[in-house]
Amino acid sequence: MSSQNEQANCFFTLTSRIDPLPFANLPGEQQESYLGPSQPPDSQANSCKLFYEDSNTLQANGPGPNAPRVEAQPATAAPITAPRGPPLPRVILIKNHVYQIAQVNPRNITAASAKPWERVITESNAYLKTVLHHTTWPKFRCDCIDSLNSLVPFLGDHLTKMQGEGLLKWQLIIPSNKTFAKGKNVMVTSNKKFTEFVAEAGKNPLAALSVMVSMQDPRKLAKVQQAARLQQDALAMSYGPDDTCLALERTQARLAVNPHADVDEQERLRIAADLHVYLTGKYGMNSKCMRIKDPKDPGTSIRVTRDALTKWSRCLLHKIPGMDQDNPPDIPEFVPDKRPAPTLAKLAAKQGARLTTLGRYATLRYATLFQRYALAYRQKAPIYFA
């Protein structure tokens, strides 16, 4: 028994496993007393005693071997949150569905009968690798155009021109997204909408992003415009003035003789005539060459020559965005002039204000003379008029 107790003491007693501490024990205590605070209570954890205790005090210090087992409560640890790193670059697929004017050879019958507009075909796909959080909407458009230009030379110039005319549509696609899914047909037109797209793309880092650059088919657009024009002409011939009906009848006669007659030029002449009437009614014939107020600098004016009026009417015919009867195109034909170009309404207002001032002065002068006459009459004195 003594040998067994010695073996048990060697196995369970910590003093035989570790070196003595560099400081003395507490008075009347053993070395194991320093480990007491680091041990959890027996009711919270199932652990084995690391040192041997006398059997008389075993029941007092802990439950016996036949005592019911108490389930340990798992420790609640703080949630582990991985630190967020910088945003990673995304690879974006760029597709296009744009058209260009077909360059035909009139000597070739097959080419002459070809369609005036044709679709731009790319043999492979274009990809753009960029960090969406570090870019803006204008820069993102330019990067997409540069990627497409690497596939087809001069395609970037064509897309830049179409973008300047407002003909391109940009659809940014995130698969299985509530807002930017392919079936939603959401077009991005502003930096605010692009920021929303970046936020949605950041929620799904593994989503395959794509961009569709498209424009409306000019042939279908021409058919729609022609149908609307025919409908308007039919109403004008029925209820319009006599001169309008006569002009439309002449146009219909020209088309009956020559279906390929240029009837747009006649429409342009009508627009030019209306534009000339509007400008002369607003500014009058203020000089040998008509001058109008410069929209960019109201204190100056620009001269409207015959060539400038012709090109201005063509812009109105084709409904170029940002151009109307008060805003001409920014072309060299409109020569700037340092002199102001006031409107007839403004000149009339100034003239009315001047006449009002003169009337007030005359009224005041006559009132003063009347007062002097009345005072002289009461005083029987001679009257002198200034």
Token pair recorded at residue 271: 């627009």
Which of 26-30, 136-140, 174-178, 240-244 shows the lowest per-residue confidence on average (mean pLDDT)? Answer: 26-30
- When mean pLDDT is compared over 4-8, 144-148, 352-356, the highest value belongs to 144-148
Distance between CA atoms of residues 281 and 275, nearest Å: 10
Kindly state whether residues 99 and 207 are assigned to the same domain.
yes
Residue 70 within any structural domain of the chain: no
Residue 17 is assigned to a structural domain of this protein:
yes
Q: pLDDT tens across 298-336, in order?
A: 889 999 988 999 999 989 988 888 889 999 998 888 989
Q: Mean pLDDT across the chain, nearest whole number? A: 77
205 and 109: one domain? yes
Chain segment 254-307, per-residue pLDDT in tens: 888 888 887 777 778 888 888 988 998 888 876 778 889 998 898 899 999 889
> d(Cα 176, Cα 355) in Å, to the nearest integer?
73
Residues 96 and 203 in one domain: yes
Examine residue 235 and state whether it is found in any structural domain, yes or no: no
Segment 172-180 shows an average pLDDT of 94
- Note the pLDDT of residue 113: 45
Residue at 266 is within a domain: yes
Claim to verify: residue 128 and residue 169 sit in the same structural domain: yes
Same domain for 110 and 159, yes or no, is yes
State whether 189 and 275 are in the same domain. no
Across the strands, what pairs with 4? none
Q: How far apart are CA 83 and CA 202, in angstroms?
A: 16
Higher pLDDT, 91 or 27: 91
The yes-or-no verdict on residue 131 having pLDDT over 90 is: yes
Provide the 10 A C-beta neighbour count for residue 337: 16
Q: Which of 146, 151, 113 is nearest to 129 (CA)?
A: 146
Is residue 132 located within the same domain as residue 196?
Answer: yes
Final residue belonging to a domain, choices 216, 249, 275: 216
Give CA–CA dist 112/357, Å, rounded: 71
Task: Please tell me the total count of domains within the chain.
Answer: 4
Domain region containing 380: 346-386
pLDDT in tens, 218-258: 888 888 988 888 898 889 888 888 877 887 888 888 888 88
> Does the structure show a pLDDT above 70 at 347?
yes
**How many Cα atoms sit within 13 Å of 175 on the Cβ side?**
8
Assigned domain for 232 exists: no
Q: Are residues 353 and 288 in the same domain?
A: no
119 and 195 inside one domain: yes
CA distance 188 to 172: 7
* pTM exceeding 0.85: no
DSSP string of 319-385, one letter each residue? T-TT-SSSS----TTSEEESS----HHHHHHHHHHHHHHHHHHHHHHHHHHHHHHHHHHHHT-----
d(CA 85, CA 211): 26
Q: Please check whether residues 196 and 120 belong to one and the same domain.
A: yes
Residues 98 and 212 in one domain: yes
Q: Do 305 and 350 fall within a single domain?
A: no
Angle between helices 264-283 and 306-317 (to 10 degrees): 120
